Amino acid sequence: MILSPEKTIVHLDLDCFFVAVSRLMNPALNGKPVVVGGNSDRGVVSACSYEARKYGIHSAMPIKLAKRLCPEALIVHGDYEMYTKKSDEVTEIIRDKVPLYEKSSVDEFYMDLTGMDKFFGCYKWATELWHKVKKETGLPSSFGLSVNKTVSKVATDDVKPDNNKKVDRGTEKAYLAPMSVSKIPMVGEKTYQVLRQMGVEKIHTLQQMPVELMRDVLGENGVTIWQKANGIDDSPVIPYSERKSVSSEETFDQDTIDVTKLKSLLITMTEKLALQLRLETKLSSCITVKIRYSNFDTHTMQCRVPYTNCDHHLIPRVKELFDKLYNRRMLIRLVGVRCSHLVGGGYQINLFEDSQEMIRLYQAMDNMRRRYGDNAVQRATGLGFRLRDFNPFNGIRKGVAGAVARNEEPRAKSQEPRAKIQEPGVRNQEPGVKIQEPGSKTSPVGATVW
C-alpha cells in the first residue's frame, strides 16, 4: 500500500494590508499611528497600524472612539481600487510560483507544498517567495509553515509583523499548548467567554479535556475546536479560481421595452446576489450585466469593482452598465447579473465610508431574511418580482433557502456565531430599519421596504 505524503501547508498573510498600501501611496505615514476608515465620526475603523493598536484601537471600532483613544492618530480614507490592485499583484506572484493555492481573502493565502521537499526544502522555498512578494509589491507579510492550515495560521499570527515561523512535524501540539485559547481559529469573543467560564484559559487545558465535553457544551463546533487545539486539521487547500461566480438571469413571459421594469428587476437581482455573497462570506470584485434582445442577440458588459458584498455598492454599477449596454431600443427577452472574482471576506472589508448604522442595518436585514426568507426585507422597487430560488438544471437552491437546504449556517470570517439581533415587533429597533411582521395585512409579501 502506498501511503500519501505528509502535508506541508504555508499560510501567508499580508501585514496590516490596508495600512501598508496606504503607506506605499504616502510614505509620510510610516511609523505613525494610522487608522483606515471613514472620514466622519459616524464611520468605523476598517484597519489600523500596529502603532495605533498600542492605544487599544481595533477593527470595527467607531472612528470617534479611536480619535479619543489616540488623538494623534492619522485617519486615512480607504482606496478601494488600490487595495484590489495590490491584492491582484500578490495573487499573480503566487499563481506563477505555486501549483496549489487558496486565496481565502484579499490579503490571506494558503499554499499546499506537499511533495515539493523532494526537490528542495519547502521552508527555503517559502522564504524565497516571501521575499519576492515584498520586493515586487513593497508589501510586508508574514507566513507560517506546518502540516496543516490551522497550525500554519496560528504560527503566522504568532510571529507578525514581517516574520515567519516553521513548526516542525510532530511538535504541533506542544507548540500550541502554552497559547491562549483565543488564538485558535473559530474561537471568537463569545466562544472565548464560554471557555473561560469553564476554567479554560490556555490551549494546554483544552487539550486535556475529553472531546465529549466540548461536544456537550458547543456541539460539533466544540469537536472542531478541540481538534484544532490538538493540532488536528484535515481541511484541504481549496484551489483558487477567479472564474467562480454567482449569477441570476430572468426571461420574460413577454418581451419588454419598459426600462423602469428592467432596472427594477436588475436591482432586485443584485440585491439577492449580494445577500448570497454575504451568506457565503464572499466578496466580489467584478460585476457583469447581460441582456438578450427579442432577436436573440446577446450582449454583456462588465467592470471591476473594489471587493464588496453590499447592495449599495453594487447596484449603482449595475445601473451604469445597463445604461451603457442597452442602446438599441429593441424589445428585451432576458436580463442577468453576475458577480465574479470571488474571495472570502465579511462586512468589514468594504465599509470605509459606511457608518455603524449601515453595518447594523445589513446585519438586521440579513437576520430577518435567515428567519423569514429572502423576501422578508427588500427595496420598494423590487416589490412584485419573484425570482427563482433554484437552478432548474441542477436543482440547487440559492439564497437563504439554499443555505438552509444545505444545512449551512453563514458565519463571519472568524466563524464566531453572530450576536442576536433585535426580534421583530419590539420598539427598540436597529437604526434605520422599519420592521414589520411578515404576513401582515399592510404588506402582502411580508416585506419591509427601505
Residues with catalytic function = 108
**In this structure, what DSSP letter does residue 158 have?**
H
Query: Cβ(173)–Cβ(202) under 8 Å?
Result: no
For residue 127, give the nearest of 107, 97, 148 by alpha carbon. Answer: 97
The C-alpha cell 432577436 sits at 295
From CA 223, how far away is CA 140, in angstroms rounded?
Answer: 35
Host H or E run for residue 284 = strand 282-293
* Strand, coil or helix: 10: strand
Query: Cβ(390)–Cβ(248) under 8 Å?
Result: no
Question: Which residues are CB-neighbours of 380 under 8 A, at least 6 positions away?
Answer: 449, 450
From CA 163, how far away is CA 152, in angstroms rounded?
Answer: 13
Handedness of CA 148, 14, 281, 385 (dihedral sign): negative
DSSP labels, 334-370: EEEEEEEEEEE--GGGG-SS-BHHHHHHHHHHHHHHH
**In this structure, what DSSP letter does residue 239 have?**
P
From CA 334, how far away is CA 255, in angstroms rounded?
Answer: 8
- The three cell numbers of residue 204 are 494546554
Identity of the amino acid at 169: R
Give Cα 403 to chain centroid, integer Å: 16
From CA 314, how far away is CA 317, in angstroms rounded?
Answer: 5
From CA 233, how far away is CA 239, in angstroms rounded?
Answer: 17
Question: Which residues are CB-neighbours of 163 under 8 A, at least 6 positions away?
Answer: 142
From CA 298, how far away is CA 289, in angstroms rounded?
Answer: 11
**β-sheet with 9-14: strand ranges across:** 101-105, 108-112, 9-14, 141-146, 164-166
From CA 341, how far away is CA 240, in angstroms rounded?
Answer: 10
